[in-house]
A = this chain, B = another copy of it.
Amino acid sequence: MTTQRRLRLGAFMRPATIHTGAWRYPGAFPDANFNFAHLKRFAQTLERGRFDAFFMADHLAVLNMPTQALKRSHTATSFEPLTLLSALAAVTEHLGLIATASTTFDEPYHVARRFASLDHLSGGRAGWNLVTTANPDAALNFGLDEHVEHGERYRRGREFFDVVTGLWDSWADDAFVRDVESGTFFDPARMHVLNHKGENLSVRGPLNIARPVQGWPVIVQAGSSEAGRQIAAETAEAVFTAQTTLAQGQQFYADVKGRMAVLGRNPEHLKILPAAFVVVGDSLDEALEKRARLDSLVHYDSGIASLSIMLGHDVSGFDPDGPLPKIPETNASKSSRERVIEWASRDKLTIRQLAQRVGGYSGLEMIGTPAMIADQMQQWLVEEGSDGFNVMFPYLPGGLDDFVDKVVPELQARGIFRREYEGVTLRENLGLPRPGNRFFKD
């Protein structure tokens, strides 16, 4: 067992908290999604806790949920990622700032510019979470009647990545000489015109912004499909993924890192960070009580729909305060169905309690004392389930404060998490190399 490897920790911050009941938790800020003062506080706390990055997921539409569930959710509306992270850049010094942008519903010139601008503003702390946008409702907000088909989205996404990185390479790192004496602001021989004409995109260039501080902002992916794994192995430097068990995590980890080896990429140059929902207590009982209280704040209307979907069976007709009856096998995801049925029997939950748990959050969770949580994180790290986690806080600010004040010192004491930031840029802190410029040698 090596003690050299260290955890990388991102914070999943859009919405500010993912749990559907979080905004109702005692002490929470129900208006956090549109209150910059709260977001600033969260970011500064993450920085105090030496987190690698603030991660901002995104949606290009109001989520498609039944109105009875939607109206109870704080997840439908939020700040737009690039504007929020730019503002946070001005009030933090070390924290990485990772924003989602879509390759299906945006233009590579815009995306290249905005991330380059964020990288300059923040002194090299930007990351781009490249998504092809799976939500079919987004298409309707961008002039299309039907969603773009999966394979077409991925082909465009791959070409989009080439164009954006090509635009970032428009200028050599030393192009801007700014020689006051001679009056030469830049060296035209150190500017490259991309002239890209491909299957999906046609972009001339050059970008009207200097090469990013990091060369390229850190490239992040979130898809876990076959196409998503392949594009991640080819291009990503961090992957945010949903893996609910260590065994699943290990399978995913081995698969993606194996693909990298086939491609000749160093597997160290991509960090795999599954989402983890962390509830901290001074005792296991206290943590479980927090979780039960949080779940109790999920409205039954929101939960029962989610539960029926996960079971592949409409359970809204059963007594909410009775136990879950035997559910026949269906074509719902077998692992989801079995997990939910196991929860019901293990924790002796009524249908209402089960619905509230599923409606609140249903992915990988770590619940317990700081030592118990550190044990789990360490096990995933050591047994190659992940390189770290994208942490989801159960409620804010309490869940975040608990993590930073109690779990982080435990991880530091074990030597598996930094006490100080190692470098200046996000790339340096993550231990990733700075990409060379494809058009100019140093």
Contacts and interface: CB of A to CB of B under 8 A. Distances in A.
B71 A180 contact: no
A203 B90 contact: no
Nearest to A181: B24
A430 B231 CA distance: 50
A206 interface: yes
B178 A77 contact: no
Interface string A57-96: 0011110000100111110111110111011111100000
A77 B144 CA distance: 33
A208 interface: yes
B84 A202 contact: no
Contacts of A158: none
A318 interface: no
B62 A180 contact: no
A352 to B, nearest CB: 14
A109 interface: yes
Interface in A17-39: 23-24, 30-31, 34, 36
A31 B178 contact: yes
A313 interface: no
B120 A79 contact: yes
Nearest to A59: B208
A145 B71 CA distance: 45
Q: How many copies does the complex hold?
A: 2
B70 A183 contact: no
A206 B62 contact: yes
Nearest to A40: B90
Interface stretch (A110-118, A249-257, A272-280): A110-118
Interface in A136-171: 137, 140-145, 171
Contacts of A208: 59-62, 76-78
A371 interface: no
A86 B191 CA distance: 28
Chain A's interface: helix, strand, loop or mixed, by majority? loop
A89 B72 CA distance: 31
B209 A120 contact: no
A266 interface: no
A285 interface: no
A297 interface: yes
A360 to B, nearest CB: 12
Contacts of A40: 90
A187 interface: yes
A158 to B, nearest CB: 17
Given A36-B90, A109-B141, A206-B62, A83 B80 contact: no
Contact of A72 (B59, B117, B118, B185): B185
Interface string A167-206: 0000100001010100111111001000000000111111
Interface of A: 23-24, 30-31, 34, 36, 40, 59-62, 67, 70-74, 76-80, 82-84, 86-91, 105-107, 109-110, 113-114, 116-118, 120-121, 123, 137, 140-145, 171, 176, 178, 180, 183-188, 191, 201-210, 297, 299
The 8 closest A-B pairs by CB, nearest first: A86-B86, A80-B117, A90-B90, A140-B204, A30-B178, A83-B117, A83-B86, A87-B90
Given A24-B183, A34-B209, A77-B186, 5 more contacts: A24-B180, A82-B82, A83-B121, A109-B142, A143-B201
24 contacts: A23-B185, A34-B209, A36-B90, A60-B109, A61-B204, A71-B188, A73-B185, A74-B178, A76-B208, A77-B176, A77-B186, A77-B208, A79-B121, A80-B116, A82-B82, A83-B118, A84-B86, A90-B91, A107-B142, A140-B202, A141-B204, A143-B203, A144-B202, A183-B299
